């Protein structure tokens, strides 16, 4: 059993308070360090990003901005408007620019979509990324669809379709791979599901973690091309996780032209910063893509090794994940609170205590995969905790 020392318990309670005031998202390590200068974070396994991709992008940025003028230009001039950057990104994604809406982070796309297109009723699978129900306005009925722990939180398609038929929502949300459990539906299953949902006005598919999923080969199995077939489909994508650039705030949504036009008429003209525009202009270049692809595949390998090692540790139930994180359940009576704090205060490892996630019964932590070296440290620390 993991137990905290008296001193650790005092700090743990103060950290909990800070977390509560941050709402349903964890405080960043900067915010944490500000308030708790004595808590030394060595590994941030809370934030879900590919550290190799962060490094790659930062290297490009440093090279490009060696000349001070170019950076000054980025700051002193207006960036391009949403629709202009959309043209560049659409070309890269091989879709029509009229189908793409860029966001100051995917969170802005989620907010725009939920506020503008949900009319009465939305179905959200739980556990989930909280913004999908938190942004629903007061008159919207949020209906939760519980993912089955016994089924590793994987969506049971036929059961779900029956549920949708019964509830008759105007909007449904499917996150694939799902956050926080990493459960994944293969492309064929997603295509089938989307086809069956043709009578629902808005089918939101959040693919923020799709770059980490692996089917038979390395290709990314996005549903975004199905936009040409299904007018009700809305594919949402954050760039924060797979490119490791949460600080820049960049994401997009792919949806019908009517929806894109509606949003652009209601604001969002200059919603991307100069830095976000720079990111997208770098992202669409072939040589960047080649380097990124290497970083992506390498990181998936490292992540799968990490998952395997974690799943062999006694006292943990590790749920199969196609994300770059794993949901682990403590099976020997320790609480997620104690485990989270012990990992942080004794080992400097920051994870996500999932006790505030609705639809998760039990003691759960979400642990992100980091660099090879950091993952080793996480494994060692978790073993140390559970064998004590
Ligand atoms: C992190 C996350 C987002 C938001 O990403 P930002 O681009 O940083 O705003 C959206 N959806 C899911 C499922 C996420 O995990």
Whether 276 and 354 share a structural domain: no
Quote the pLDDT of residue 28: 85
Quote the pLDDT of residue 67: 78
Whether 311 and 205 share a structural domain: no
Whether 279 and 381 share a structural domain: no
Q: What does DSSP say about strands 141-146 and 364-368: parallel, antiparallel, or unpaired?
A: unpaired
Take residue 79 and report the two structure tokens written for it. Answer: 């960036």
Ligand 1 center from residue 106 Cα (angstroms): 5
Whether 215 and 363 share a structural domain: no
Nearest to 198 by CA among 222, 156, 175, 165: 165
Assess whether the C-beta atom of 129 lies below 6 angstroms from ligand 1: yes
Ligand 1 atom at minimal distance to the Cα of residue 238? 7
Q: Which pTM does this prediction carry?
A: 0.95
Whether 307 and 255 share a structural domain: no
Kindly give the confidence (pLDDT) of every residue in the chain, 388 residues in length, as a single tens digit, with 9 standing for 90 and above: 888 999 899 989 999 998 888 888 888 888 888 888 888 999 999 999 999 999 999 999 999 998 778 888 888 999 999 999 999 999 999 999 999 999 999 999 999 999 999 999 999 999 999 999 999 999 999 999 999 999 999 999 999 999 999 999 999 999 999 999 999 999 999 999 999 999 999 999 999 999 999 998 889 999 999 999 999 999 999 999 999 999 999 999 999 999 999 999 998 988 999 999 999 999 999 999 999 999 999 999 999 999 999 999 999 999 999 999 999 999 988 999 999 999 999 999 999 999 999 999 899 999 999 999 999 999 999 999 988 7
Ligand 1 center from residue 357 Cα (angstroms): 16
Whether 215 and 354 share a structural domain: no
Residue 60 lies in a domain: no
Query: Which of the listed residues 259, 285, 311 is the one where a domain comes to its end?
Result: 285
Query: Which of the listed residues 247, 262, 285 is the one where a domain comes to its end?
Result: 285
Nearest to 281 by CA among 98, 88, 83: 88
Assess whether the C-beta atom of 132 lies below 6 angstroms from ligand 1: no
Whether 158 and 199 share a structural domain: yes
Whether 130 and 269 share a structural domain: yes
Ligand 1 atom at minimal distance to the Cα of residue 178? 13
Residue 73 lies in a domain: no
Quote the pLDDT of residue 295: 97
Assess whether the C-beta atom of 295 lies below 6 angstroms from ligand 1: no
Assess whether the C-beta atom of 238 lies below 6 angstroms from ligand 1: yes
Mutation pick for ligand 1 pocket among 129, 182, 324 (CB with most ligand atoms within 8 Å): 129
* Positive or negative: CA dihedral 128, 129, 133, 134: positive
Ligand 1 center from residue 349 Cα (angstroms): 22
Assess whether the C-beta atom of 338 lies below 6 angstroms from ligand 1: no
Assess whether the C-beta atom of 103 lies below 6 angstroms from ligand 1: no
Assess whether the C-beta atom of 105 lies below 6 angstroms from ligand 1: yes
Assess whether the C-beta atom of 375 lies below 6 angstroms from ligand 1: no
Residue 66 lies in a domain: no
Quote the domain boundaries for residue 50. 6-55+289-387
Assess whether the C-beta atom of 104 lies below 6 angstroms from ligand 1: no
Residue 14 lies in a domain: yes
DSSP conformational letter for 223: S
Give the integer Cα–Cα distance in Å for 291 and 294: 5
Ligand 1 center from residue 205 Cα (angstroms): 12
Ligand 1 center from residue 149 Cα (angstroms): 23
- Count other Cβ atoms within 10 Å, centred on residue 140: 18
Ligand 1 center from residue 167 Cα (angstroms): 27
Nearest to 313 by CA among 339, 282, 344, 274: 339
Whether 253 and 112 share a structural domain: yes
Ligand 1 atom at minimal distance to the Cα of residue 175? 13
Assess whether the C-beta atom of 246 lies below 6 angstroms from ligand 1: yes
Q: What is the CATH number of the domain that holds 18?
A: 3.90.1150.10
The CA angle 270-275-277, to the nearest 5 degrees, is 55
Q: What is the CA radius of gyration of the chain?
A: 21
Quote the pLDDT of residue 115: 97
Count of structural domains within the chain: 2
Assess whether the C-beta atom of 44 lies below 6 angstroms from ligand 1: no
- Count other Cβ atoms within 10 Å, centred on residue 7: 9
H or E element, residue 365: strand 364-368
Q: How far does Cα 257 stand from its chain's mean position?
A: 25
Quote the pLDDT of residue 55: 97
Give the integer Cα–Cα distance in Å for 66 and 223: 38
Assess whether the C-beta atom of 175 lies below 6 angstroms from ligand 1: yes
Residue 369 lies in a domain: yes
Assess whether the C-beta atom of 206 lies below 6 angstroms from ligand 1: yes
Whether 281 and 296 share a structural domain: no
Residue 61 lies in a domain: no
User: Would you mind telling me the total number of residues written for the chain in this entry?
Assistant: 388
Quote the pLDDT of residue 151: 96
Query: Which of the listed residues 257, 285, 313 is the one where a domain comes to its end?
Result: 285
Q: What is the CATH number of the domain that holds 186?
A: 3.40.640.10
Residue 70 lies in a domain: no
Whether 266 and 362 share a structural domain: no
- 75-94 in b/e form (b: 16+ CB < 10 A) is eeeebbbbbebbebbbeebe
Assess whether the C-beta atom of 207 lies below 6 angstroms from ligand 1: no
Whether 87 and 33 share a structural domain: no
Residue 16 lies in a domain: yes
Nearest to 260 by CA among 98, 62, 70: 98
């Amino acid at each position: 059993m993991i137990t905290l020392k008296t001193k650790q318990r005092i700090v743990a309670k103060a950290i909990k308070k800070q977390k509560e005031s941050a709402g349903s998202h964890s405080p960043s390590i900067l915010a944490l360090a500000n308030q708790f200068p004595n808590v030394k974070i060595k590994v941030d396994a809370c934030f879900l990003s590919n550290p190799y991709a962060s490094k790659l992008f930062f290297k490009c940025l440093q090279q490009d901005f060696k000349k001070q003028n170019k950076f000054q230009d980025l700051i002193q001039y207006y960036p391009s408007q949403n629709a202009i950057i959309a043209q560049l990104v659409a070309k890269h994604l091989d879709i029509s620019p009229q189908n793409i809406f860029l966001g100051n982070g995917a969170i802005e796309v989620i907010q725009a979509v939920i506020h503008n297109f949900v009319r009465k009723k939305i179905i959200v699978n739980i556990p989930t990324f909280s913004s999908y129900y938190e942004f629903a306005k007061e008159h919207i009925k949020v209906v939760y669809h519980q993912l089955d722990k016994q089924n590793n939180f994987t969506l049971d398609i036929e059961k779900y379709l029956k549920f949708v038929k019964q509830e008759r929502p105007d909007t449904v949300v499917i996150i694939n791979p799902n956050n926080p459990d990493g459960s994944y539906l293969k492309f064929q299953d997603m295509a089938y599901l989307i086809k069956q949902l043709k009578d629902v006005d808005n089918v939101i598919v959040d693919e923020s973690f799709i770059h980490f999923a692996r089917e038979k080969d390395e290709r990314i199995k996005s549903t975004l091309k199905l936009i040409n077939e299904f007018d009700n489909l809305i594919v949402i994508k954050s760039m924060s996780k797979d490119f490791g650039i949460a600080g820049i705030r960049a994401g997009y949504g792919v949806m019908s032209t009517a929806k894109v036009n509606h949003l652009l008429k209601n604001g969002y003209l200059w919603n991307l910063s100069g830095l976000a525009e720079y990111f997208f202009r770098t992202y669409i270049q072939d040589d960047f893509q080649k380097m990124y692809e290497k970083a992506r595949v390498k990181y998936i390998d490292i992540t799968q090794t990490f998952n395997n090692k974690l799943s062999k540790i006694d006292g943990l139930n590790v749920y199969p994940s196609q994300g770059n994180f794993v949901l682990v359940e403590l099976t020997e009576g320790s609480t997620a609170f104690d485990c989270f704090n012990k990992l942080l205060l004794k080992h400097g490892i920051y994870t996500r205590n999932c006790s505030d996630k609705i639809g998760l019964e039990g003691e759960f932590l979400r642990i992100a995969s980091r660099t090879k070296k950091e993952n080793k440290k996480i494994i060692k620390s978790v073993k140390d905790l559970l064998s004590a």
